Amino acid sequence: MPHDSQMGRVQLVGAGPGAADLLTVRALRAIESAQALLYDALVGEEILALAPAACLKMQTGKRAGRASMKQDTINRLMLRLARRGLRVVRLKGGDPSIFGRVGEEAAFLHAQGVETEVVPGVTAACAAAAQFGFPLTHRGEARRVTFATATTRDGALTESGWAAAGDPETTLALYMGRDQLAAAADRLIAHGRAPTTPALAIENAGRAEARVLSGTLESLAGTLAGERFDGPVVLLIGEVAARSAAYAPQDVPLAAEAM
């Protein structure tokens, strides 16, 4: 459908992992010029404060395990605001193309004739690796990185993809896997991953309050279960995790403060 010249536009923007200084310049400019801002629950006040005082701000929720606005409602709200001629920013945590439903939202808007732009952001796995001092790839240890979600829409463990993730030369970044780590570890071990594979659980990656737990693929779920990690958690599994200064190879993993 052709775009209506009187209609506003929607930018689907990645806010990164939470710290304002990890925003891209393009994301910052989008926020600073927004007339309507629809933001996910994980976007912090530091970033929201960058929007103009007159900007209409609406939280859409979108946090695992919490009540949130239905996707159809978000779609219709973006369309309604764009039809008013506004510059709309749909602000998502991390990168909108990594488990951010950007494809669904862009397709809906395009079908309605709304001009859209996707602005990428730093995803949690990249922020975690930088913050805690380890690479996602490394010669002789990790030739590839897999970004994966551990759960389906109803919270059950995903059924596919475990064979590829079981490759010992793959760094696995597992999103939305905190409550399914034990089951995910069993699947990975069954597909060839050594139980002693280094593993990290990182809460609030990229933020000053980030926390990390270290252990092995086999042990980390037990340690994580005993901690109160209420923020978003990304799991990093692979030999490169042992290169983190926070990695403790003991049988009982230790917590480490953010660097």
Residues annotated catalytic, as ranges: 40, 62, 176
> Tokens for 20?
């304002």
Place of tokens 């605001």: 81
Evaluate whether 86 touches 6 at the Cβ level (below 8 Å). no
The amino acid at 186: D
How far apart, in whole angstroms, are the C-alpha atoms of residue 171 and residue 167?
9
Place of tokens 């990695």: 247
Helices (runs of H) and strands (runs of E) counted in the chain: 8, 11
Evaluate whether 207 touches 17 at the Cβ level (below 8 Å). yes
Query: Partners of 212 in the beta sheet?
Result: 202, 256
